[in-house]
Amino acid sequence: MRPALLVFRREFAAYFSTPVAAVFLIVFLALAAGMTFLVSGFFDRGQADLSGFFFWHPWLFLVLMPAIAMRLWAEERRSGTIEILMTLPVESWQIVLGKWLAAWAFAALALVLTMPLWITVNLLGSPDNGVILSSYIGSWLMAGAFLALAAAISALTKSQVLAFIAATAVSFLFVMAGFDLVISAVRQWAPGFVIDAVRSMSFFANFQHITDGVLELPSIIFFVSLIAFSLWLNVRIIEIKKAA
Amino acid sequence: MPLVVARDLVKRFGSLTAVDRISFSVERGEVVGFLGPNGAGKSTAMRIISGFMEPTSGQAWIDGHDSHTDPIAARRRLGYLPEGAPAYADMTVGAFLEFIASMHGMTKPQANARLAELVDRVDLADVWNQRIESLSKGFKRRVAIAQALVHDPDALILDEPTDGLDPIQKYEMRDLIRSIAPHKAIIISTHILEEVEAVCTRAIIIAKGRMLADATPAELLSRAPGHGTLALALATADPQGAIDILSKHPGVGRVDVVQRVNGVTRIAIRTAKTRPSTDEITSLLGRSNIAVTEFYMERATLDDVFRHITIHGSEN
């Protein structure tokens, strides 16, 4: 595990070596607050909860998580440092894990910075703090899934822009998997169980299960296994690229 | 077993064969120069041996460990400077080298002790706390070299270690390579031929993915046409008299004018059988009042060898 932690430390620090981190955090907080107060009408609803805040997370993450993860591998390929990294005496999965953990920790920081909202609703009323906590955990898990997908895609290219666009496109399919847009495309040819499977992969639906109340186990398992699968895919992409 | 062994390495990219059956080995104490034009397959071969890239076929070993089936053990014994000397631009020199040391499993005290030694050797003390992106090309290259030396590996693969350095930095880099050479097996790639003469004990010439020669620099030089030809400088702008006289000598095959500058003519004597001695030539020409101001042996450069071998194909 030590190499993974060393990679984690280096990558996490790298986020703060340029103003990009600060810009990102400001954009995230501004968008999250803007959506909550202006679009969801936080004050007009007269309810002390954060559902108007969490509702937007799948859409915000759709763009913001690929932005966090796009540089993880593409930048290494562009600058050539990947040759140094991949000839160090450590396993590929340790590097893959360390990089993803760094991005995930950065996402955690972004979420932690929205805590004033939580404090606000507690001052205004008496929200169900259990639901809010499970929503935060669910949001973080969903962010992890977005990041793991985007990191794997980033390993395919040396262009950060390309990595960002491709990751956003793939993430969009996952967010929309429960909606007619995707389902109708599948319904033409696929048997029922495939349609159900596609529908069950919807980020939006799975996240909603979590924010609706309890931390629902199937949804948690979904996000965790998608993270695990994407990390595995990331390792495979790295290995296959070596032979290409 | 030699420290570095490559056997029948082949790498194809689609229809292009970048590396075509390359085999060689490097013992401790040897510095092998990979010599070839750009795009010859030097970097690809080095990437395969380092384990960064998988070959289409063939195998490579570092100190007996296959760099693909036993990569961790192989990488522990190898220091690798990739093409372009990459390093994390956003890190300081110190943080970067500490990161590399820790990834090699060194503890903090071990890393500190080793880096303190290395900093002097590679001369990085002045820039230790600077970000790598702010460094000059020479310093960047030294950082990347230091990265390859952090764990004091037995085998070193350095892809163009002096590329882009100014003459003084090149000199220092060669000095550094020479100083560590006795204890390590080193492969360097270059397209600068003087570098091979300056630091290498052996040179491997590669063109279009194939090995065309594997010999010491001296052996390669002796293969060049014209190497060891006797040449002389005459204090005259009109060498015809001298040429006529020399051509009559039984040992002389042909006399060529090499250069005419500022009233001095340089001619080369291509010998047929036995070369006439310098005394003989002086007295022969002296009789016609032609003064020889200088005798010298024409020395082929590795450029000549290189051109000769890459144009005329393989060895001999």
Which domain-ending residue is among B197, B222, B247?
A: B222
**B103/A88 Cβ within 8 A:** yes
Q: Are residues B8 and B73 in the same domain?
A: yes
Place of tokens 């949001």: A139
Task: Identify which of A58, A62, A103, A59 has the alpha carbon closest to the alpha carbon of residue A234.
Answer: A103
> pLDDT tens digits for A221-244?
999 999 999 999 999 999 999 887
H or E stretch covering B62: strand B57-62
All residue ranges of chain B with pLDDT < 50 are 315-316
Residues of A with CB under 8 A from a CB of B: 2-3, 6-7, 10, 14, 17-18, 79-81, 83-84, 86-91, 242-243
CA distance B12 to B68: 17
Q: How many C-beta neighbours within 10 Å does residue A167 have? A: 26
> pLDDT tens digits for A95-113?
999 999 999 999 999 999 9
Share of chain A above pLDDT 90, in %: 57
> pLDDT tens digits for B103-146?
999 999 999 999 999 998 888 999 999 999 999 988 999 999 99
Residue B28 tokens, joined: 């401790």
Q: Are residues B73 and B119 in the same domain?
A: no
Helix, strand or coil for residue B7?
A: strand
| CATH number assigned to the domain comprising residue B270 | 3.30.70.1340
B53 at the A interface (CB within 8 A)?
yes
Q: Give chain B's domain count.
A: 3
B132 vs A215 pLDDT, higher one: B132
Residue A228 to residues A143, A157, A166: CA-CA distances in angstroms?
13, 21, 20
**B103/A3 Cβ within 8 A:** yes
| The pLDDT of residue A214 is above 80 | no
CA distance A32 to B215: 68
Residue B297 DSSP code:
E
Tell me how close the Cα of B30 comes to any Cα of chain A, in angstroms: 22
pLDDT at position A96 is: 97
CA distance A139 to A224: 12
Sheet holding B16-26, edge to edge: B16-26, B4-13, B57-62, B65-66
Which residues are CB-neighbours of B236 under 8 A, at least 6 positions away?
B242, B263, B264, B265, B290, B291
CA distance B57 to A175: 43
B236 within a domain of the structure (yes/no): yes
Tell me how close the Cα of B69 comes to any Cα of chain A, in angstroms: 12
φ/ψ of B177, rounded to 5, equals -60, -45
B68 within a domain of the structure (yes/no): yes
Q: Are residues B43 and B97 in the same domain?
A: no
| Helix-helix angle A57-69:A20-34, to 10 degrees | 170
**B88/A14 Cβ within 8 A:** yes
pLDDT at position B313 is: 60
Q: Are residues B66 and B172 in the same domain?
A: yes
**B76/A89 Cβ within 8 A:** yes
Do residues B39 and B83 touch, judged by C-beta distance below 8 A?
no
B304 within a domain of the structure (yes/no): no
**What does the mean pLDDT of chain A come to?**
90
pLDDT at position B316 is: 41
* Chain B neighbors of A90, CB-CB under 8 A: 72, 103
Q: Are residues B244 and B187 in the same domain?
A: no
Q: Are residues B134 and B218 in the same domain?
A: no
Neighbour-count burial of A145, counting CB atoms closer than 10 A to its CB (0-12 exposed, 13-18 middle, 19+ buried): buried
Residue of B nearest to A14 (CA): B90
Q: Are residues B164 and B48 in the same domain?
A: yes
* Chain A neighbors of B71, CB-CB under 8 A: 89
B311 within a domain of the structure (yes/no): no
Domain ranges in chain A? 2-243
* Chain A neighbors of B100, CB-CB under 8 A: 84, 88
pLDDT at position B249 is: 80
Is the ipTM beyond the 0.85 threshold?
A: yes
Which domain-ending residue is among B194, B222, B250?
A: B222
A14-23, A181-190, B62-71, B132-141: segment of lowest average pLDDT: A181-190
Tell me how close the Cα of B95 comes to any Cα of chain A, in angstroms: 9
| CATH number assigned to the domain comprising residue B66 | 3.40.50.300
pLDDT at position A178 is: 78
Tell me how close the Cα of B106 comes to any Cα of chain A, in angstroms: 11
Q: Are residues B247 and B117 in the same domain?
A: no
Q: Which domain holds residue B274?
A: 229-298
Choosing among B44, B50, B88, which should be mutated to test the A contact, i.e. which has the most A CBs within 10 A? B88
Q: Are residues B172 and B73 in the same domain?
A: yes
* CA geometry: angle A161, A163, A169, nearest 5 deg: 105
Tell me how close the Cα of B122 comes to any Cα of chain A, in angstroms: 19
Q: Are residues B179 and B36 in the same domain?
A: yes
B207 within a domain of the structure (yes/no): yes
